[in-house]
Chain A
Amino acid sequence: MSLTLYHRHVLEDYLAGFGEKANPNHIAVIRRPAIFSILAHRAHEAAVEDALKPVEGVHLRYCAPDEWLVVSTTLGAAVIENRLGEIAGASIVDQSDGRALLRIHGPNVRKILAKCVAVDLHADAFAIGTSANMLCCHVSVNLARTGADTFEIVVPRSFCGSLFEDVMEMGREFALTAAFADS
């Protein structure tokens, strides 16, 4: 007997009600991102960080001293596992099923996120390329700025539905929409 197993995104039911059209303020829910936790071990901290920087096709997200998330919307988990697996002094853990990736974009994105997080997201304080763990609608997430008006939220799967509803509520004023996206 061989099992054919379907994969289900945590927001499947939540997104069912949205139409096709994306408004200027929009959340793209990445369907199958690859997300890994990277932990650097004692005496390897600097070497691991140096080894992570040149890895292609992935984005590095800062979590804590000697701890990062590696996120990719283009590479599969197996490819990343291979590339990261070679880094000496690092432990890697696949979190692709344990985290959801929401990309929020639009002219009012900072006003929406100001209702969700306490961190100052002004470009002078949180520049493009910055990322950090923080509370977002009472949930601990990793938030990254990937563009002037674009941020990415990496949220634990079990909290994702609750967080998604809250962010959508905060975006109501600006007609925030949401839909799945492949990358």
Chain B
Amino acid sequence: MASLITCPHCGTRPKEEFSIRGAALKRPDPAASEKDWHAYVYLRENPKGRYQEYWHHAAGCRRWLIVERDNVTHDVFAVSDAAAVRGASE
């Protein structure tokens, strides 16, 4: 029927406004090892429980968000703007 995500920019919205891209992995450095690139492109932990995913607020602000949630209970622990997170870690 619905799940809700609270976008840091737009407020609480139904999941229909978002598209999910999967695990919020950091893109390796262009010069990183073959192994790191292979893991980034092909390998996923796919955990049951708490993890971080990229969600795109496609019908709202069109920002990429990092949603940390439990995929069993759908408890959402944190929603943050991906650019802020990635920008800060540079």
Any A–B CB pair closer than 8 Å? yes
Do most interface residues of chain A lie in helix, strand or loop, or is the interface mixed?
strand
| B27-35, B46-54, B57-65: which lies at the interface | B57-65
| B13 with A64: CB separation less than 8 A | no
Pairwise interchain contact A65-B17, C-beta atoms closer than 8 A: no
A134 near B10: Cβ-Cβ < 8 Å: yes
| Minimum C-beta distance from B26 to chain A (A) | 21
A residues apposed to B, CB below 8 Å: 63-65, 67, 118-120, 132-135, 140
CB distance from B75 to the nearest CB of A (A): 20
| A-side contacts of B59, CB under 8 Å | 133-135, 140
> When the two chains form their complex, are residues A65 and B10 in contact, meaning their CB atoms are under 8 A apart?
no
3 cross-chain pairs, A with B, having the tightest CB-CB distances, nearest first: A64-B61, A140-B59, A135-B59
Cβ-neighbour of A119 out of B13, B63, B81 (below 8 A): B13
With A134-B17, A135-B16, A135-B17 as given contacts, are A119 and B61 in contact (CB-CB < 8 Å)?
Answer: no
B63 touches A134 (CB 8 A): no
Per-residue CB contact flags for chain B residues 18-50 toward chain A (1 = under 8 Å, else 0) read 000000000000000000000000000000000
